[in-house]
Chains A and B, each alone.
Chain A
Amino acid sequence: MYGIIDCDNCYVSCERVFRPDLKNKPVVVLSNNDGCVVARSNEAKKLGIKAGMPYYQLQEKFPGQQVTAFSSNYELYGEMTGRVVSLIRQAAPNYFRYSIDECFVNLKKMETPDLKLWGEQLHQKVMRYVGMPISIGIASNKTLAKVASHFAKRYPGYKHCCLIDTDAKREKALKLFPIEDVWGIGRRYAAKLKSMGVLTAWDFAMRSPDWVRHTFHNVVIFRTWRELNGEDCVPEEEMAKKKSICTSRSFNGMISEFSDLKTHISNYAAHCAEKLRQEGSVASAVSVFIRTNPFREDLPQYENFVEYPLYTATNSTITIVKACTQALERIYRPGFQYKKAGVIVMQTSPETAVQSSLFDLNADQFDKLKKLDRVLDRINKVNGTETVVLGSQQYTPKTPNGKAEVFANVIKHDFRSPNPTTRWSDIILLK
């Protein structure tokens, strides 16, 4: 069995831990530069506030409503979600974290007779320890676990954990599940399916394999169909959010040196950048994660995941590698034996739609980097992959330290909350 675990309204929930007065009230978190809404509390969703709505419209469209807005505070969210993942790791050592607030766990070797109870208790523990509500969907494959997680989130009766472990439950759930919400079915395909009378996940699952193959000629869709019918065929790495590219590896042996990790991360980053250029898209954020081996209980355990915004969306190898190594510097701790690391580039969009940020310090370099990448790609294509690489990608690095540029300070964040878990100056005051 697999479990999908994610934090409910993650950023809002992080803010509420230190602002308990905002419980049951509409709260939103804004994107970088306070441009638009990126996270909403359930109350804000009920008011009709949409994800992506520009902040100024919020004031226009909801006059008189007490909506509390926060600037995004990734330092806080990263630390708080790290606590959540640490608790998940203790409950299910075979886990894969694929975004700041989502984890998938492989429960095959678990000796828990009652997975539903296991999930409910995990939610209670995380709620009590960290103050973060989580939802857990459990099923025989990842697509069905995603379906289960929707139910766990939507209906309080599930006590934050929904288990689909019989064909009867699967049928019941899929009949209630709109086709457009099925993981792996894009908006375009959902529209096509609906026009053919396929409205629910069940309608789709009941079609014949030949029909699915001939109608779509698409492996991903066919795989989704197989998973809805109970097969297990989606690999771990594809768990990462849509519109993102993930490169991760488990090391042969373990690594503790920063310089060694940096080399790996640089290569994963370069690989992601190359993929972005191949598909003609750009990313607006990168994530880096590192972790020790959770099965070596004798060794000290550590894992961290950090999301790092790119102030101008890019596919430049140099920029992405640099952002990833900076991100790595923030989460690397000496004294641990690392087993796995990865890079995820996120929120990709077509290259043509790039808007450079007003605050980007490197706006004038943009064209130069682009030319450089084009040359890089051409050389590597003609002369074989990795003929030309960045210094940091070489597996015999000279010095481990690169300098971190502090450009977070020029970004606008009028409503940023304090950092009570990462800065002594910001810890809560007790009257």
Chain B
Amino acid sequence: MAKVKILGKGFSHQNELKFADAIKAGFPSPAEDYRHDGLDFNRDLIRHPEATFYGRVDGDSMIDAGISDGDLAVIDRAVEATHGDVIVAYVNEEFTIKYLDLSHQKEGYIELRPANAKYQPIRISADDDFEVWGVVVWTIKPWKR
């Protein structure tokens, strides 16, 4: 069967073709249409690689949110933090993971709410120099080590 050499450029926008340096002339393989690259967490779950950082949960302050000690958090700094997001902030010289509660903004403060009755919310007044460090987009929980 004759082989046709594909020259890179004309097909350049089609990702799948990078494996197909030679295709057969004649009937196309029926599997051809279904070929895709494998699933890849780095490619599919990380939307902003340059803005993505990782953290390890230390403690049980978010236990009722299903986030436990030792879980891995994927933090995206490119995502805009909105009310109710799980965020990472730097407070009292440490990184903390909490719910962002913006419901009291009109009263001049916001709260970082834990998901555990044992902990108090952290209140931050509008005058404080405060920044959301990043938004937690995934947590990864080990079940077996």
Contact = CB atoms under 8 A, between A and B. Distances in A.
Contacts of A184: none
Contacts of A421: 53
Nearest to B50: A83
Given A20-B133, A129-B77, A298-B14, A429 B56 contact: yes
Contacts of B58: 429-431
B88 A430 contact: yes
Nearest to A90: B50
Interface string A410-431: 0000000000110010011111
Nearest to B97: A430
B57 interface: yes
Contacts of A128: 51, 77-78
B10 to A, nearest CB: 10
Given A128-B77, A298-B13, A430 B55 contact: yes
B115 interface: no
A20 B93 CA distance: 8
Interface residues of B, number: 31
Interface in B42-73: 48-51, 53-59, 61, 72-73
Nearest to B114: A431
B54 A427 contact: yes
B95 A129 contact: no
A83 B46 CA distance: 14
A21 interface: yes
A424 B14 CA distance: 35
A129 B53 CA distance: 10
B107 interface: no
A427 B51 contact: no
A53 to B, nearest CB: 27
Contact of B95 (A84, A130, A424, A431): A431
B94 interface: yes
Contacts of A129: 48, 50-51, 77-78
A87 interface: yes
Contacts of B53: 420-421, 427-428
B29 interface: no
A431 B97 contact: yes
A429 B77 contact: no
Contacts of A131: 77
A428 B51 contact: no
B37 to A, nearest CB: 10
A299 B78 CA distance: 24
A427 B73 CA distance: 10
B93 A21 contact: yes
B127 interface: no
B12 A130 contact: no
Interface string A11-52: 000000000110100000000000000000000000000000
Interface in A84-121: 84, 86-87
Most central of B18, B53, B58, B61 by chain A CB within 10 Å: B53
A296 interface: yes
Given A20-B133, A129-B78, A429 B95 contact: yes
B138 interface: no
A431 B96 contact: yes
Given A131-B77, A430-B56, A20 B90 contact: yes
Interface string B77-89: 1100000000010
A83 B48 CA distance: 10
Given A20-B133, A129-B78, A131-B77, A431 B51 contact: no
Contacts of B32: none
Nearest to B67: A430
Interface in B10-41: 12-15, 18
Contacts of A21: 90, 93
B14 A86 contact: no
A21 B48 CA distance: 25
B128 interface: no
A424 B74 CA distance: 12
A299 B8 CA distance: 10
A21 B58 CA distance: 20
A430 B94 CA distance: 8
Given A129-B78, A427-B54, A86 B49 contact: yes
Given A298-B14, A429-B58, 9 more contacts: A20-B131, A129-B48, A129-B78, A130-B77, A297-B13, A298-B13, A424-B54, A427-B53, A431-B58
10 contacts: A20-B131, A129-B77, A428-B95, A429-B55, A429-B56, A430-B58, A430-B88, A430-B95, A431-B59, A431-B96
The 9 closest A-B pairs by CB, nearest first: A298-B12, A129-B51, A430-B97, A429-B58, A83-B50, A20-B90, A430-B55, A428-B55, A427-B54
